[in-house]
Amino acid sequence: GFEAYWAIPYGSKTAVEGKWVKGPGSHLFKAFQAKWPHMPFIAEDLGVITPKVEELRDRFHLPGMKVLQFAFLNDSSNSFLPHYHIPHSVVYTGTHDNDTCQGWYQQAGEREKEYFLEYSYSDGTEVHWDMIRLAISSVSRMAIYPLQDVLGLDSSARMNTPSVEKGNWTWRAPEKGIPKESLARLAHWVELFGR
């Protein structure tokens, strides 16, 4: 990471032998800011985030990430839920490292599914559209939803599975493109929610 990272000595058999090392921090971001005053970056502030990481993100006014697939794991205090989003953030249905929305829902636990269905007023028949609508209607300044979600595809269209060496980055968009009905639905929501 930019604030700190886990450094593992070359040749180590496991990561246990590593240690935390201070990253380039504000020095790097000051150089970026000199080149790009408006800092066209998104902070990947996922996982275990320390106060120092948050301070670095906020000092340089970088929008953080809100991933909806992480929102329904526990209760209403989960910061990924749309009612906690802030305008200076970017909301995703899922990232390149997540399953598709359909795949996520198929593999989610019962409590997670129930919470998602209740929160999104969904009957579970169009989970991908329910997630896209949550993203588009969020106050986050930008909403990103993978094409696989727009197409309603399952886990077979997943882009990347972290820590898996083979089979990643092989999915390709269909030549026929996006169905007109899907484009119309997206266009309606973009207009409805002022995107």
Each residue of 67-113: pLDDT tens digit? 999 999 988 999 999 999 999 999 999 999 999 999 999 999 999 99
Structural domain contains residue 134: yes
Residue with tokens 């899907």: 182
Q: Would you say residue 125 lies in a domain?
A: yes
In a domain, residue 187? The reply is: yes
The pLDDT, as a whole number, for residue 125 is 97
Q: Per the domain annotation, does 170 fall within a domain?
A: yes
Query: Are residues 118 and 110 in contact, defined by beta-carbon separation less than 8 angstroms?
Result: no
Task: Look up tokens 């953080």; give the residue.
Answer: 64
The pLDDT of residue 59 is: 95
* 71 within a domain of the structure (yes/no): yes
Please indicate, yes or no, if residue 15 is contained in any of the structural domains: no
Q: Which pLDDT score, from 0 to 100, does residue 64 have?
A: 96
The pTM for the full model equals 0.91
With a cut of 70, which residues of the chain have pLDDT below it?
A: none
Domain range for 118 is: 63-192
Examine residue 75 and state whether it is found in any structural domain, yes or no. yes
- Number of independent structural domains in the chain: 1
In a domain, 19, yes or no: no
